[in-house]
Chains A and B, each alone.
Chain A
């Protein structure tokens, strides 16, 4: 059962309160604070009262000292559930797992545990087919070196082949490993004072860890974002498809007519080419309103296509609406 109170925020907050009492580090006025930290925004209206008025009889007030005490004799604890073990077993079957687990990780307990799912249960039908080689020895070695360097806050010297086949060797600070399920690739975000720079992990030839860096040496530039405004006509379920397709972005939608909507998307400027083709995939149902340069790029491709269409088919290219 995925949806169960043992995984809930309320139990987590109560466990923390009981733990702090058993350690002798809880003052009564800490209860709302712990609740706010461990549970939801309005939980503070429920949890402290339920504990203090005996609705949940887990605390009592010591008659002599007047201090709150827990009815438990030990620190609260919760064993791993079968669901959690089955999930761990499932991820062990994935190709990428060797990137994250050290060879010393004890897996024996999972020998007799059934996975919740296997890779064979899923079909990623629109995933690009040139994803990273997650099981390659060099890939795993490089990935793990980068991962350790990020954790240990170290410089790295990374050698890789660029998009046009040129060889590069950079000394840099690794910041984050970004994965795209669509591309099935990891990219390494590195420090760079001018712009956000990524290195495709699939192109890395070797990585060496260097000395530690100080926080002063970090320079993470802001993302260069762009605001794209589109006009959408809701035909062929385009509204829902568009909203889902771009649901990973910040966006705002306004209804402007019976089946007309204005959608504002906030995306990375570096992703402009990808945004153009994704918007083009909606055909006439989505029109770019701004920015002007982006609108012109989309319009230019449509114009070129109409021209090709005319030239190759002998048709006149007049709208057949």
Chain B
């Protein structure tokens, strides 16, 4: 098939964009699952969509392609471009412009009238084979009605289509559209509205702004539809070990968002496992809505406890709580540490236990997830106690290994670096 920069669906390209963006050290030969031609086509496509954001680096073992960007400098998520590359047929584009033109000014026309007008008024001299037939016109009209571009009324069993007028002026929403196109988790839809605005604004900037979630928006859209309609969903997720995938039936309930990594997760009841589970959105390949769950409350009643004692996104194996306490040293001029504890904790309490010591205590389902956060207090942790002793051991063992990395595993005789100066 000849190369096209448009695609029917971008599932495959989604995978490539992710690889180029997240990793960016692989050469063509390392994309094992793809043929050379397929790799070249995908790379060319992504380059065409993203332009200068694609970078190249020649290394001994081949050319490395990567996507690199500083989100503080970019007013619009570049990955939204992937959603603007849907393929279409000549009939689709002909229908789009001509039928909307035909119905301009409030005209109401039947399917027959629309088809006749296409043939007689718009293309009287065109080969009829090049034009959409009446069955195609009927299907396209129904599609445009579902899209909300057209409305329909039935008179004496005949359907009459007309433009679905709107009094909404995108310009009146300008600031909201500019902000939420980036902030909102279905922001690509806002970016379609932003395309209608005259000129470009740079009033809003974003820090800690993650672009990659854009590629998961079709999956997210399907899951949100299921959540709102209280429907089950059939999701396809990969099996890490075998490299294959499996289909699961779940009841989607919440979307969990990490503002610190940009990742999105689905929290759902997994029927087969008989418990709630969490799935990364970027690993869900397909999400299709299923039947309405009649016993919705029965499968979501666990949520309040879950929310109260859950730290991150590990699927709880059981609902047994672990207790953790971390005591930190806070000097008199370090009020920001207390602020950090208060604003970053998820559940639990912070109490002053001495003139310069504060203790954070919490009951959490899986304290293992807390370790990266605990490590951010490295250098001031006076005591770490956990009912799960593996957590304590892991923290200290990791610490010693980190010390070894910097040549300071034996405190007090630390060699702090190449200059050998301990601070």
Asked if B85 and A8 sit within 8 Å, CB to CB, the answer is yes
Taking CB atoms, residues of chain A closer than 8 Å to B5 are 40, 42-43, 46
Taking CB atoms, residues of chain B closer than 8 Å to A100 are 173, 175-176, 179
CA separation between A241 and B176, bound complex, in Å? 32
The B217-261 residues at the A interface (CB cut-off 8 A) are: 217-218, 221, 224-225, 227-228, 254-261
- Knowing A2-B218, A129-B342, say if A11 contacts B207 (CB, 8 Å): no
The B190-238 residues at the A interface (CB cut-off 8 A) are: 190, 192-193, 195, 202-212, 217-218, 221, 224-225, 227-228
Residue of B whose beta carbon sits closest to that of A101: B176
Q: Which of B152-160, B291-299, B369-377 participates in binding chain A?
A: B369-377
Asked if A10 and B259 sit within 8 Å, CB to CB, the answer is no
The B347-362 residues at the A interface (CB cut-off 8 A) are: none
Please, what's the 1-or-0 string for B1-40, where 1 marks a CB less than 8 Å from any CB in chain A? 0001110011000000000011111000000000000000
Asked if A11 and B93 sit within 8 Å, CB to CB, the answer is yes
CA separation between A223 and B422, bound complex, in Å? 31
Contact of B260 among A109, A245, A280 (CB under 8 A): A245
A27 at the binding interface (Cβ < 8 Å)? no
A258 at the binding interface (Cβ < 8 Å)? no
Residue of A whose beta carbon sits closest to that of B401: A284
17 A-B contact pairs sorted by A residue (CB < 8 Å): A72-B97, A87-B184, A104-B172, A105-B172, A106-B172, A109-B168, A116-B224, A125-B313, A128-B343, A177-B204, A247-B262, A249-B71, A292-B418, A295-B406, A305-B380, A306-B414, A320-B400
Residue of A whose beta carbon sits closest to that of B209: A248
Asked if A85 and B148 sit within 8 Å, CB to CB, the answer is yes
Q: How many A-B residue pairs have CB under 8 A?
A: 428
Asked if B204 and A55 sit within 8 Å, CB to CB, the answer is no
CA separation between A130 and B345, bound complex, in Å? 11
Asked if B423 and A296 sit within 8 Å, CB to CB, the answer is yes
Asked if B423 and A300 sit within 8 Å, CB to CB, the answer is yes
Please, what's the 1-or-0 string for A116-147, where 1 marks a CB less than 8 Å from any CB in chain B? 11000111111111100000000000000001
Asked if A317 and B411 sit within 8 Å, CB to CB, the answer is yes
Contact of A182 among B259, B372, B398 (CB under 8 A): B259
CA separation between A253 and B228, bound complex, in Å? 41
Taking CB atoms, residues of chain A closer than 8 Å to B51 are 41
A52 at the binding interface (Cβ < 8 Å)? no
Please, what's the 1-or-0 string for B384-412, where 1 marks a CB less than 8 Å from any CB in chain A? 00000000000011111111111111111
Number of residues of chain A lying within 8 A (CB) of chain B:
136
Please, what's the 1-or-0 string for A63-88, where 1 marks a CB less than 8 Å from any CB in chain B? 00000000111101111111111011
CA separation between A315 and B397, bound complex, in Å? 12
Taking CB atoms, residues of chain B closer than 8 Å to A178 are 72, 204-207
Asked if A318 and B409 sit within 8 Å, CB to CB, the answer is yes
B57 at the binding interface (Cβ < 8 Å)? yes
Contact of A252 among B44, B66, B267, B378 (CB under 8 A): B66
- Knowing A181-B259, A250-B70, say if A283 contacts B398 (CB, 8 Å): yes
- Knowing A87-B189, A266-B70, A307-B411, say if A3 contacts B403 (CB, 8 Å): no
Asked if B48 and A3 sit within 8 Å, CB to CB, the answer is no
